Structure 1
Amino acid sequence: MTQGPGPYRIGVDVGGTNTDAAIIDIAGTDSESRGVCASSKTPTTADVTSGIHTVIENVLSKSAVDRKEVLSVAIGTTHFVNAVVEADGRRLSKVAVVRLCGPFTTQVPPFSDFPLALKEIMKGPVFYLHGGEEHNTKFHATASLLTVKATVKSIQEAGVTAVAVVGVFSPLDHRGLHEETCKRLMQEQDSSLSVVCSHTIGGVGLLERENATILNASILTLARRTVRAFCEAMVKLQLNCPLYLTQNDGTLTDAATAAELPIKTFASGPTNSMTGAAYLASLDRGIANARSETQVLVIDVGGTTSDVCALFPSGFPRQAPNFVEVGGVRTAFSMPEVLSVGLGGGSHVFYDSDTDRVQVGPESVGHYLTSKALVFGGEIMTTTDIVVASGKAEIGDVSKAHGIPSQVVAKARAQIKRILERAVEDMKVSDLPVTLLLVGGGSIVQMDDLEGVAECIIPPRHDSANAVGAAIAKVAGEVDIIEILADRDEKAVLEEAKHQAIEAAVSRGADRDSIKIVAIDKLPLQYVTNKATRLVLKAVGTLALPGPNVPAVNGAHMSGTTVHGINGDAEREAEKKFRQKVEVETLASSVKFSAFMDIDAYRPDVRDHVWYIAPVDLEFIATGTGVLGTGGGGPSYLQYLQCLESLRNSKGKGTMRVVAPESLQDADVCVFGSWYGAPSVSGERMPAGTEILTAVDYSVKLSGYTHFEAVIADEIGGGNGLSTFPTSVYYDIPVVDGDLMGRAYPSLEHGTPYVYGEPITPCVAADGKGNVAVVLKAESNRRVETMLRSQCVDLGLKIAVACTPLTGSAIKQYAIPNTVSQAWYIGRAVHQARRSKTNLIDAIFATAPGRLLYTGKIIDVKRDVSRGYTMGQCTIAPLSTEEQDPSSMTGDVSTSSPDDSRCLIIPFQNEYLFAAYADAANPDDTLRHEVICTVPDLISILGQDGEAIGSQELRYGLRVNVIGMSAHPLWTDDERGLRVGGPEGFGLDMKWKSLGPYQKPRSVVHEFNRVTV
Structure 2
Amino acid sequence: MAVLKSLRLGVDVGGTNTDGVIIDPTREGEENRGILAWHKEPTTTDPSFGIARAITAMFEAAGTNPSSIGSVTIGTTHFVNAVVTRDASRLCKVAVIRLCGPFTKHSPPCIGWPKSLRNIVLGHSARLKGGLEVDGSLISDIDEEEILEQAHVIKERGIGVVVVNGVFSPIDTVELQEERAAAIIRREIPGVDVVLSKHVSNLGFLERENAAILNASILKFARQTIASFQLAIAAIGLTCPIFITQNDGTVLTCDSAARLPIRTFSSGPTNSMRGAAFLVGRGEYKGKSLMVVDIGGTTSDVGLLLPNGFPRQKSAYSELSGVRMNFNYPDVKSIGLGGGSLVRKIDGRLTVGPESVGYKLSEKALVFNGDTATATDYTVAGSGDISIGDVEKVRGILVQQDVKDYQKEIKRMIEAVIDSMKTSPEDIPVLLVGGGAVIAPDALKGASCVIKPQWSGVANAIGAAMARVSTVIDTVKSTENLSTKELVANISEEVKQKTIKAGATEASIEIVEIETFPLAYIDHKTRFIIRAAGDFDFSRLGDLTEVDGTVDTTTIEDIAAPADVKIGAPLTPQDDEEEELKAPEVDYSTYKPKVQDRLWYLSETDLHWIATGCYILGTGGGGSPYPAMLAVRAIMRFGGTITIKNPVDLKDDDQVGSGVGVGSPTVAMERMAADELLESQTELYKYYQGDRPTAMIATEIGGVNGMMGFILGSSPVMNVPVIDGDWMGRAYPVAWQSMLNVCNERPLKPSAVACCDGNGNNIYIPAVSSLQKLEKVVRATLGQLGSNMMAANAPYTGAQTKSWVIEHTLSQAWRIGRAVARARKENRVDTVAESIIDAVGGPGAGRVLFKGKVVGVERTLIDGHIYGEVIIEGTATDERYSALPLEFTGRVKVPFKNENIAVIKLHEGQRNIPGKENNEDVLAIAPDLISIIDAQNGEAIGSPEYRYGLLVIVLGIAASDKWTSTQRAIDIGGPKGFSMDHLEYRPLGKFVKPVSVIDEYNS
User: Which structure 2 residues correspond to residues 126-165 of structure 1 after superposition, within 5 A?
Assistant: 126-165=125-164
Partner of 1:954: 946
From 975, 980, 984, give the equivalent of 1:988: 980
CA distance in 2: counterparts of 1:69 and 1:509, whole angstroms: 20
Partner of 2:723: 736
CA distance in 2: counterparts of 1:118 and 1:83, whole angstroms: 11
From 505, 508, 527, give the equivalent of 2:502: 508
CA distance in 2: counterparts of 1:424 and 1:193, whole angstroms: 51
TM-score (norm 2): 0.84
- Relative to structure 1, the CA distance from residue 300 to residue 23 in structure 2 (aligned partners, 3 Å threshold; closer, same or farther) is same
**Per-residue deviation, residues 91-139 of structure 1 (Å, max 9, x unmatched):** 0001111111111001111111212221121121110000111111112
Report the Cα offset of residue 184 of structure 1: 0.5
Cα pair 1:906 1:914 within 8 Å, conserved = yes
Q: The residue matched to 2:736 in structure 1 has which SS?
A: helix
- Relative to structure 1, the CA distance from residue 663 to residue 701 in structure 2 (aligned partners, 3 Å threshold; closer, same or farther) is farther
- Residue 841 (1) aligns with residue 833 (2): yes
Partner of 1:603: 592
CA distance in 1: counterparts of 2:817 and 2:96, whole angstroms: 33
From 679, 686, 700, give the equivalent of 1:715: 700
Taking only aligned residues, the RMSD between alpha carbons, in angstroms, comes to: 4.2
Q: The residue matched to 1:546 in structure 2 has which SS?
A: helix
From 796, 802, 807, give the equivalent of 2:786: 796
Report the Cα offset of residue 893 of structure 1: 8.3
- Relative to structure 1, the CA distance from residue 894 to residue 113 in structure 2 (aligned partners, 3 Å threshold; closer, same or farther) is same
User: Which structure 2 residues correspond to residues 340-419 of structure 1 after superposition, within 5 A?
Assistant: 388-390=370-372, 392=374
Partner of 1:100: 99
Partner of 1:546: 539
- Residue 532 (1) aligns with residue 525 (2): yes
Partner of 1:637: 626
Partner of 1:273: 272
CA distance in 2: counterparts of 1:925 and 1:691, whole angstroms: 39
Q: The residue matched to 2:243 in structure 1 has which SS?
A: strand
Q: The residue matched to 2:228 in structure 1 has which SS?
A: helix
CA distance in 2: counterparts of 1:301 and 1:428, whole angstroms: 20
Cα pair 1:841 1:889 within 8 Å, conserved = no
Partner of 1:937: 928
Q: Which amino acid aligns with 2:303?
A: A
- Residue 177 (1) aligns with residue 176 (2): yes
Partner of 1:904: 892
From 671, 677, 690, give the equivalent of 2:663: 677
User: Which structure 2 residues correspond to residues 522-921 of structure 1 after superposition, within 5 A?
Assistant: 522-529=516-523, 531-547=524-540, 550=543, 555-564=553-562, 567-568=565-566, 571=569, 579=575, 586=576, 590-593=580-583, 596-649=585-638, 651=639, 653=640, 655-688=641-674, 690-730=675-715, 731-757=718-744, 758-834=748-824, 835-848=827-840, 849-876=845-872, 878-879=873-874, 884=875, 897=886, 900-901=889-890, 903-919=891-907, 920-921=909-910
- Relative to structure 1, the CA distance from residue 566 to residue 672 in structure 2 (aligned partners, 3 Å threshold; closer, same or farther) is same
Q: The residue matched to 1:159 in structure 2 has which SS?
A: coil
Cα pair 1:86 1:342 within 8 Å, conserved = no
Unaligned runs of 5+ in 2: 342-352, 378-388, 390-408, 546-550
Cα pair 2:291 2:428 within 8 Å, conserved = yes
Q: The residue matched to 1:632 in structure 2 has which SS?
A: coil
CA distance in 2: counterparts of 1:540 and 1:949, whole angstroms: 28
- Relative to structure 1, the CA distance from residue 923 to residue 648 in structure 2 (aligned partners, 3 Å threshold; closer, same or farther) is same
**Per-residue deviation, residues 45-73 of structure 1 (Å, max 9, x unmatched):** 56654443332222232123465554432
CA distance in 1: counterparts of 2:150 and 2:835, whole angstroms: 51
- Relative to structure 1, the CA distance from residue 78 to residue 524 in structure 2 (aligned partners, 3 Å threshold; closer, same or farther) is same
Q: Which amino acid aligns with 2:526?
A: T
Report the Cα offset of residue 861 of structure 1: 2.1
Report the Cα offset of residue 925 of structure 1: 6.3
Q: The residue matched to 1:804 in structure 2 has which SS?
A: strand
CA distance in 1: counterparts of 2:777 and 2:829, whole angstroms: 48
- Relative to structure 1, the CA distance from residue 564 to residue 258 in structure 2 (aligned partners, 3 Å threshold; closer, same or farther) is same
Cα pair 1:841 1:891 within 8 Å, conserved = no
**Per-residue deviation, residues 952-998 of structure 1 (Å, max 9, x unmatched):** 11122323222222222322222332332222223322243222454
- Relative to structure 1, the CA distance from residue 624 to residue 35 in structure 2 (aligned partners, 3 Å threshold; closer, same or farther) is farther
Report the Cα offset of residue 521 of structure 1: 0.6
Report the Cα offset of residue 831 of structure 1: 2.4
**Per-residue deviation, residues 738-788 of structure 1 (Å, max 9, x unmatched):** 110011011222221233344423011112234321111223221111211
Partner of 1:246: 245
Report the Cα offset of residue 645 of structure 1: 1.3
More deviation, 962-971/532-541: 962-971
CA distance in 2: counterparts of 1:669 and 1:278, whole angstroms: 65
**Per-residue deviation, residues 321-371 of structure 1 (Å, max 9, x unmatched):** 111212221112223124689999999xxxxxxxxxxx9999x9x9xx8xx
- Relative to structure 1, the CA distance from residue 666 to residue 857 in structure 2 (aligned partners, 3 Å threshold; closer, same or farther) is same
CA distance in 2: counterparts of 1:632 and 1:814, whole angstroms: 22
Report the Cα offset of residue 469 of structure 1: 1.5
CA distance in 2: counterparts of 1:626 and 1:386, whole angstroms: 54
Report the Cα offset of residue 511 of structure 1: 2.0
- Residue 969 (1) aligns with residue 965 (2): no
**Per-residue deviation, residues 463-492 of structure 1 (Å, max 9, x unmatched):** 423211212211112222221112324332
Report the Cα offset of residue 421 of structure 1: 12
- Relative to structure 1, the CA distance from residue 615 to residue 442 in structure 2 (aligned partners, 3 Å threshold; closer, same or farther) is farther
Cα pair 1:339 1:423 within 8 Å, conserved = no
CA distance in 1: counterparts of 2:662 and 2:310, whole angstroms: 39
Cα pair 2:857 2:869 within 8 Å, conserved = yes
More deviation, 544-553/252-261: 544-553
Q: Which amino acid aligns with 1:936?
A: P
Q: The residue matched to 1:593 in structure 2 has which SS?
A: coil
Cα pair 1:301 1:344 within 8 Å, conserved = yes
% identity of equivalent residues: 34
CA distance in 2: counterparts of 1:346 and 1:560, whole angstroms: 41
Report the Cα offset of residue 837 of structure 1: 4.1
- Relative to structure 1, the CA distance from residue 289 to residue 178 in structure 2 (aligned partners, 3 Å threshold; closer, same or farther) is closer
**Per-residue deviation, residues 578-619 of structure 1 (Å, max 9, x unmatched):** 64xxxxxx599712125x333344322223322221112122
CA distance in 2: counterparts of 1:794 and 1:166, whole angstroms: 25
Q: The residue matched to 2:539 in structure 1 has which SS?
A: coil
Partner of 2:323: 329
Partner of 1:125: 124
**Per-residue deviation, residues 828-860 of structure 1 (Å, max 9, x unmatched):** 222223333452222222122223333333333
Q: Which amino acid aligns with 1:871?
A: Y
- Relative to structure 1, the CA distance from residue 743 to residue 234 in structure 2 (aligned partners, 3 Å threshold; closer, same or farther) is same
More deviation, 555-564/938-947: 555-564
**Per-residue deviation, residues 696-716 of structure 1 (Å, max 9, x unmatched):** 233345443334221110001
Unaligned runs of 5+ in 1: 348-358, 377-381, 399-417, 580-585
CA distance in 1: counterparts of 2:946 and 2:418, whole angstroms: 23
Report the Cα offset of residue 913 of structure 1: 2.1
- Relative to structure 1, the CA distance from residue 269 to residue 973 in structure 2 (aligned partners, 3 Å threshold; closer, same or farther) is same
Q: Which amino acid aligns with 1:782?
A: Q
From 882, 903, 912, give the equivalent of 1:923: 912
Q: Which amino acid aligns with 1:202?
A: S
Q: Which amino acid aligns with 2:372?
A: S
**Per-residue deviation, residues 511-544 of structure 1 (Å, max 9, x unmatched):** 2222211110101111012x21111101112222
- Relative to structure 1, the CA distance from residue 889 to residue 332 in structure 2 (aligned partners, 3 Å threshold; closer, same or farther) is farther
CA distance in 2: counterparts of 1:344 and 1:94, whole angstroms: 37
Aligned residue pairs total: 936
